[in-house]
Structure 1
Amino acid sequence: MTGALEAMLDRRSWSKFTDDAPSHHELLDLIAGAGRVADHSSLKPWRLIELRGDDRRRLGRAIGRAEGDSGVYSKPLRAPLLIAIVASYKKSKVPRWEQEAVASGVAHALSLVLDEAGYAVFWRTGSYTRAKAVAKAHGLGKNEELLGWLYVGGKPARSRALRRKTIDPTRFLSPMPGRHSGGGEKAKGKKSKK
């Protein structure tokens, strides 16, 4: 087994990271691939923000302000690279929820290609994504929302072999309601003509 299915089956969230992280140029190549998600009307309703070094402390201070605290929230310091996922909504016939789904798809695709490139990834979300102080720190526009951050770093050596338990797909796949066994299906609410 190779390719996308193997990447999905091997995917896991990492809570610990080494200081290894992709360079800016390596990240650009990975984003070029992740940006190929299905996108109704090709709106590209997303953007990413790269946080390294002191950027992570500035984010920690913004989260502290959102909490009413003058300290630095330490979670952004857990990984050497954070990638903020921003839904950047466009005026369009394409509904807002669908544009947000595209931005989420880019985030997930990016997490997969980062993992395949050998990096540990964790997607952090939460109430801080909607805090004004955090939005201001990211320079978000009125038509934008922060969906969370991909925490990215090296995979700790002793954790490399761990694998998530595979789901039971039969619990999540069902036929369309009203399907009858054996061929000739009738549309609900319509009588067949004789």
Structure 2
Amino acid sequence: MHADTDIPASLRREALDLLLQRHSPWPLTDPAPPQRELDLVFQAALRAPDHGQLQPWRFITIRGDARIALGEVFARAARERDPEEDGERFRNKAMAAPLLIALCARVLAPHKIPESEQVLAVGAAAMNMLNALHLLGYGGFWATGLNSYDPNVRGALGLGESDRLLGFLYVGTPKEATRAPERHAPEAFVREWTSPAIDVAR
């Protein structure tokens, strides 16, 4: 328990119970969060752990008609990857939610903080955003795929050589009620390490 807070234990448990219901609903539709709530989502992102205080997170919002333009970017990139691809399925991806947020990492390299840790900081920020969206009553779905690794897509988004595109956060309201996946028992994924016997004789 933090000594510098007066949040009642009951409220803490209620918040935790809500987080334990978080999942990635699909499909998503209007409404997306208004700007005042979206600001809270980004504030939550900036609370992520950040080794070295490098603040590597960068977010690009795409909504309204900008999604149509992004769909063209997706489709063109798909055709360049494969001339046999008509790009339609990738174009549709840009319209799959009322709001898309490109998740980007501004990587400093060379740097004493490894690139992997800088990218992990953005991943932690994205998880904070998903949790915040859930607590506000919205749905969030983090997707990667071929376009996330395509230099043409990165270029169209204005990203530089040192930037990494970690995917797109699809944001909106669940189109229909969905049930969270069955919660697994932690014991299947957690084990305790104890130090092995060490011969300290000299």
User: TM > 0.5 between the two?
Assistant: yes
**Does residue 149 in structure 1 map to residue 168 in structure 2?**
yes
**Does residue 164 in structure 1 map to residue 195 in structure 2?**
no
Per the TM alignment, residue 25 of structure 1 is displaced from its structure 2 partner at its CA by 3.2
What 5-or-longer segments of structure 1 have no aligned partner? none
Per the TM alignment, residue 117 of structure 1 is displaced from its structure 2 partner at its CA by 0.5
Per the TM alignment, residue 148 of structure 1 is displaced from its structure 2 partner at its CA by 0.6
What 5-or-longer segments of structure 2 have no aligned partner? 1-12, 80-85
* Residues 49-100 of structure 1, C-alpha deviations (whole Å, 9 max, x = no match): 0000122112211111111146571011011000110011124210000111
Please provide the CA RMSD for this pair. 1.9
In 2: Cα distance, 1:2 partner to 1:42 partner: 31
Residue equivalent to 1:74: 92
The within-5 A match list for 1:10-89 is 10-68=21-79, 69=86, 73-89=91-107
Per the TM alignment, residue 135 of structure 1 is displaced from its structure 2 partner at its CA by 0.7
Whether the 8 Å CA contact 2:106–2:163 is kept in 1: the answer is yes
Residue equivalent to 1:100: 119
Q: How many residues align?
A: 182
In 1: Cα distance, 2:17 partner to 2:120 partner: 23
Whether the 8 Å CA contact 2:44–2:125 is kept in 1: the answer is no
Q: Which amino acid aligns with 1:82?
A: L
Q: Which amino acid aligns with 1:133?
A: N
Residue equivalent to 1:175: 192
* Residues 124-162 of structure 1, C-alpha deviations (whole Å, 9 max, x = no match): 111211112211221101110110111011123x415x2
Residue equivalent to 2:130: 111
Per the TM alignment, residue 24 of structure 1 is displaced from its structure 2 partner at its CA by 2.6
Q: Secondary structure at the match of 1:148?
A: strand
Whether the 8 Å CA contact 1:11–1:164 is kept in 2: the answer is no
**Does residue 128 in structure 1 map to residue 147 in structure 2?**
yes
Q: Secondary structure at the match of 2:29?
A: coil
**Does residue 138 in structure 1 map to residue 150 in structure 2?**
no
Per the TM alignment, residue 20 of structure 1 is displaced from its structure 2 partner at its CA by 0.3
In 2: Cα distance, 1:49 partner to 1:24 partner: 14
How many percent identity over aligned positions? 34
CA shift in 2, pair 1:34/1:140, >3 Å: same
Q: Which amino acid aligns with 1:2?
A: E
Q: Which amino acid aligns with 2:14?
A: T
